Amino acid sequence: MSRIISVFTLVFSLFFAATNTAYAMHITEGILPIQWVLTWFAVSAPFVGIGVYHVKRKKRKMPSYLPLVGMLGAAVFVFSCFPIPVIALNGMATSHPCGTGLSAVLLGPFVSVLIAAIALLIQALFLAHGGLTTLGGNIFSMGILGSFSGYFAFKIAQRCRLPLFWCGFLAGMVSDLFTYLGTSIELGLLVIGKGGSFLKATAEIFGVFMMTSQGVLCIVEGIVVGFVLVFVYKRKPGILLQLGLTKDDTRPVQI
C-alpha cells in the first residue's frame, strides 16, 4: 500500500509541477457520474437557496447590502487567486487559497455558500477550472463544508477569547482542511460499487492532498487570513464592527 501511495504522490507532484499552478480543490468536468452529479446538486441547492434568502432579507433592510456582498465576493475571488509557492515542490509550482474561510467570517456561512457558488460558476466558465456538471459537488466541498467549518472555527476561537489573528488562522486553516476533506469524500464515494472501500479511498486521497502541497497550504491560508483580519482591524476597525466580527468598538480587541 505504501508503494502505491508513493507512486500516487510522485505522479501527483509531477502533475502539479507540470501545470505550474496547482488547482486541486475542484473536481473537473466529466469526473462525476450522473447519479453523483444529481446528488450533489440536490445537497447544495438548499444551502444556496438559504443564501439567496439571507441576501434578499438583508437587502430589504439595507439596500446597500447587495453591492457590499458583490464587492466582498469579488475581493475574496481575487484573494483566492493569490499565487502561493508550494514548498514541497521547492517553488516549482504555486497553489492558491480557497478564500471561503475569509468570506464565511466576513459575510456569514450561508451568504458565503452563495458567493462560493457564483465564484465556482465563474471559474468553471471562464477559467476551465472545475466544471458545470461538477458544480454541485464543488459547492458542497468548497462552499458548504469550507464556509461552515471556517465560520464555526472562528466563532469557537472567539468564544475561547483567542487573539484575532488566531481566530482568523483557525478559520482559514479549518475551512481549507474541510474543503479538501469534502473533495476526498466525493472522490472516495466513486469507488462504492466498484469493489473498493470508501473509507480507505477517502483516507488515501486526503492523505495524498495533505502530503503534497495542500497540507502546508492549509496552514499558509490560515496565517494569511489571520494577517488580513489583523490588518483590517488596525486600519479600519469599523469594517469588522459593521460586519459583526467585533462587538464593541470602544473595547480594544486582542490581536
Nearer Cβ to other proteins (172/182) = 172
Nearer Cβ to other proteins (60/159) = 60
Alpha-carbon separation of residue 149 from 36, 102, 105, 146, 204 (angstroms): 23, 11, 10, 6, 22
Nearer Cβ to other proteins (74/211) = 74
Provide the 8-state DSSP code for 80. Answer: T
Least distance between other proteins and beta carbon 121 (Å):
7
Nearer Cβ to other proteins (108/159) = 108
Least distance between other proteins and beta carbon 126 (Å):
5
With both helix axes pointing from N to C terminus, report the angle between 100-107 and 164-188 in degrees, rounded to the nearest 10.
Answer: 120
Least distance between other proteins and beta carbon 130 (Å):
9
| Rounded Cα–Cα distance for residues 75 and 224 (Å) | 14
**DSSP per-residue codes, 6-57:** HHHHHHHHHHHHHHSB---SSPPTT-S-HHHHHHHHHHHHHHHHHHHHHHHH
Three-state DSSP state, 95: strand
Nearer Cβ to other proteins (6/254) = 6
